[in-house]
Amino acid sequence: MQNDTLGRLIVGAGVTLVIVGLLFMWGRTLRLGSLPGDFTWSGKGWQLSIPIATCILISVILTIVFNLIARRR
């Protein structure tokens, strides 16, 4: 690996970590995990969450971002 490639890889990983960290910080404010279409069942001592709508939303956003990145190259 060349130094330029390694540098870009490290910067890309850093940006990704920042974005994931912001999602963790602002996830509740953005209602991630409690969108319509996210299912939650609970009982005595257990809870099951299936965030279908949140997964679809994140998938669409990541698809758009990765397509924009791929077109730039």
Domain boundary assignment for the chain: 1-30, 33-73
- Sign for the CA dihedral angle at 4, 10, 13, 15 comes to negative
Give the pLDDT of the chain (73 residues) as one tens digit per residue. 677 788 888 888 888 888 888 888 887 787 777 888 899 999 999 999 999 998 998 899 889 988 988 887 7
pTM given for the model: 0.63
H or E segment and range at residue 64: helix 52-72
Question: 35, 54 in Cβ contact below 8 A?
Answer: yes
- Residues 39 and 30: their CA atoms lie apart, in Å, by 17
